[in-house]
Chains A and B, each alone.
Chain A
Amino acid sequence: MRYRQVLTDPIIDNNPVTLQILGICSAVAVTRSMWPAFVMAISVTAVLMFSNTAVSALRGIMPRSVRLVLEVTLIASAVIVADEALQAYAPETSKTLSVFVGLIITNCIVLGRAESFALNNGVRASFLDGLGNGIGYGLLLLSVAAVRELFGSGTLMDQPVFAQTADSAIFVANEFMALPASAFFIIGLIIWALRSWKPDQVEAREFDAEDGG
């Protein structure tokens, strides 16, 4: 039961993007269409599972004073392997994702989970936590990408949904959706919707506004 919770919690109830507001930069950058977002989600999940497992396994022998450096070394190695694999098996997508695969190293979710979870939990739980957070991140990424691709290009997973020809001008591509800034609005709306559905996700106010000020 506990393991299942570790896996399913980060998907909606404790989603790394919508609740912890981590990994926003990549969620903005790679969500123009669904396929690159999917590949990115898989890569982040793979790196998360590896780094969480490795950090958890080594947590007993890693000297505390240099643990951050060592964690980043482990994460960076996993990211390089993922990047090389993408260049080999999905070169087109790898070009689309460009620097953002390498930037998984700086994705706050990866180091965040290593520091806050893997360092204090067993290998199996850490592995599942990595998988769960990867799925949560991927789900958000794909939701944002679906909206952006549908309204920005009229396709879903590169399959045409809205006909876009000169004769039948029913659908006009929304140029804004092709730009990264649109992802901010979509993520914002998703967070709003989630917190209306599950009010316990709303953070407590840190400071109360002064009355009548």
Chain B
Amino acid sequence: MAAEPESPLRIFATSAAIAVVCSVMVSASVAYFRPIQFASAAFETNRDILEAAGLIRRNETVTLRTVTERLEHLEVRLADLEAGAFVAGDDPASYDFMKAATEPANSIEIPAQHDIAKLGRRSKLMPVYLAMEGDSIQTIVLPVYGKGMWSLIEGYIALSGDFLTIESLVIHEHGETPGIGDRIESSDWLDTWRGRQFAADGHYVPLKIVTAAKTDATPQAIDAITGATVSTEGVVSLANFWLGEAGYGPLLRTLSNNPGQPQR
């Protein structure tokens, strides 16, 4: 490279040209990838819902087609949580309850004594997913979320047709500490949720953290993860919030009182 004097004009022109080319490259790639990113996000969400419903095994590799096909087995409904009833709504599957929770018209403030998941507000309406067997609900999948140690933990809880036994818990997203808090995603721990109940003698009893749930006969016992106390508490609290009176409680009561076809 010759050490010729560089005029300010040339420096400016070259820099501007390179900057324009680079920005076109970046904008074009963002425009091209954005729809694919949305599709991927929807795929992950649907996958997790199906896993909660027991229609996909935990480590099963699935294609978009399988996910779309198996989603046919689930019925999506919008539920008014306070009223404990299903409401009509177009396209309930794409109802953005996270966004609704930030809009005053579509959300309610959670009373402080009930706000164990530290959410502040929640959407009035929530989408729920039903696996039907004839006229009765076999499994109901409920979207849940709440604060962990660092992050918002999002997941899905599936209940069996008695509306008080947990079939599975799936963690959809979280940002807990790698190697420690992220064990809330480990199969061993998630498996301990299966069969746990949050009711006794027809009354709501919150889940509680114990040190050895495998040998604990209490149906509400959930294992503490060693070293990840705050993340464990986060998941258990969010489950207790959403399964309780301020969450899906009224809806679950309505459903267990009317075991037949859920009303529109």
Contact = CB atoms under 8 A, between A and B. Distances in A.
A157 interface: no
Interface string B76-95: 00000000000000000000
B5 to A, nearest CB: 10
A84 B37 contact: yes
Interface in B60-89: none
A188 interface: no
Interface stretch (B23-31, B124-132, B140-148): B23-31
B29 A91 contact: no
Contacts of B14: 61-63, 66, 70
A202 interface: no
Contacts of A76: 22
B33 A63 contact: no
A135 to B, nearest CB: 24
Interface string A59-95: 1111111100110011011001100110111011001
A58 B34 CA distance: 30
A189 interface: no
Contact of B1 (A59, A70, A73, A80): A59
B152 to A, nearest CB: 13
Contact of A178 (B1, B29, B178): B178
A15 B30 CA distance: 33
A172 to B, nearest CB: 13
A65 B6 contact: yes
Contact of A69 (B6, B15, B178): B15
Nearest to B31: A84
Contact of A88 (B6, B15, B40): B40
Given A73-B19, A81-B29, A84-B33, A63 B10 contact: yes
A89 B40 contact: yes
B112 interface: no
A89 B22 CA distance: 22
A155 B149 CA distance: 27
B6 A77 contact: no
Contacts of A178: 178-179
B245 interface: no
Interface string A29-66: 00010000000000000000000000000111111111
A19 B1 CA distance: 29
A65 B25 contact: no
A64 B6 contact: yes
B217 interface: no
Contact of A73 (B3, B18, B33): B18
B105 interface: no
B19 A88 contact: no
A88 B1 CA distance: 40
A77 B22 contact: yes
A91 B48 CA distance: 14
Given A70-B18, A178-B179, A179-B179, A65 B37 contact: no
Interface of A: 32, 58-66, 69-70, 73-74, 76-77, 80-81, 84-85, 87-89, 91-92, 95, 152, 175, 178-179
Interface of B: 1, 3, 6, 10-11, 14-15, 18-19, 22-23, 25-26, 29-30, 33-34, 36-37, 40-41, 44, 173, 178-179
